[in-house]
Amino acid sequence: MNQAKQVRKVAFLGLGVMGYPMAGHLVAAGHNVTVYNRTQEKAQKWAQQYGAQWAATPAQAAKGCDIVFACVGEDKDLREVVLGENGALAGMKSGAVFVDHTTDSADVAREMSALFAERGMTFLDAPVSGGQAGAENGVLTVMVGGDQKAFEAVADVIEAYACSVTRVGAAGCGQLAKMVNQICIAGIVQGLSEAVAFGLNAGLDMKLVLPVLEKGAAGSWQMKARGATMVDNAFDFGFAVDWMRKDLGIALAEAKRNGSVLPLTALVDQFYGDVQRLGGRRFDTSSLIIRLPRPTTKK
């Protein structure tokens, strides 16, 4: 974990499986952190664990802060923590920066960017990749859209929980880059699912074969991190199917707007729908393999 170059007063809104450890890394880096969560008991638990503060509303958490971070569910959740008399915007000071780690639409990122600019503040869309393990270990990849100067002002703080922090363009570009990321993952996981199922049906010891393939052209993070667990029929490793479907829905909607054709992504999105109907809503994304016939594997 990188040490902070300058202590900041910050707020973190949203203490889910990602936000909880991310906010903790900010405390460990020496920052003055106040958190908000819709379930107050979770905010209180976090504050006790990390010896920091919690607030009853986003506005209270954001009051006087240099940077306000958020990691919530989707567009409506972001609007809920930002807008209104209890929203973060009501409590933020002029010149403050709002960093949104939620995976949401490019449209809401542009909307928020314009709204914050009107108030003399800056909004950065900064979705993350790396999943729950990346958040817990402080090695997330962060793709940022928005003002260059604001990005430079907060990048070293984000490094408390990231191994890579990169500005990829103007407002909304961070979210567009995350869509590219999810499109890539969808195709890779489906291909890996088919490959593992094929190998098992052919009688191969896939626990032996996969480490061999990792060293060749077929190797990928998904193969290395999820191949063996797919063989074991284990799917409790973080990023849930429900969230992947939400993300793919955002990408498919954006594709309609910009004229892209995503046949594989649309198909895999339907496959994830099958997983949901099979009871796998909270399984991780590697659970695509449960749709495919294969020998019985241990759980």
- Where does residue 70 fall: left (phi above 0), alpha (psi -120 to 50 degrees), or beta otherwise? beta
Active site residues: 178
Number of neighbours of residue 216 by Cβ within 10 angstroms: 7
Residue with tokens 């074991």: 232
16, with CB counted inside 10 A (0-12, 13-18, 19+), is middle
The CA-atom distances, in angstroms, between 51 and each of 27, 34, 45, 275 are 9, 10, 10, 40
Structure tokens of 163?
Answer: 């191994």
Going by C-alpha positions, the residue among 136, 120, 262 that lies closest to residue 187 is 262
Distance CA 176, CA 107 (A): 10
> For residue 78, how far is the Cα from the chain centroid?
14
Strands (E) located in 170-248: none
146: which residues sit within 8 A by CB, 6+ positions away?
113, 122, 123, 124, 125, 126, 167, 170, 171, 174
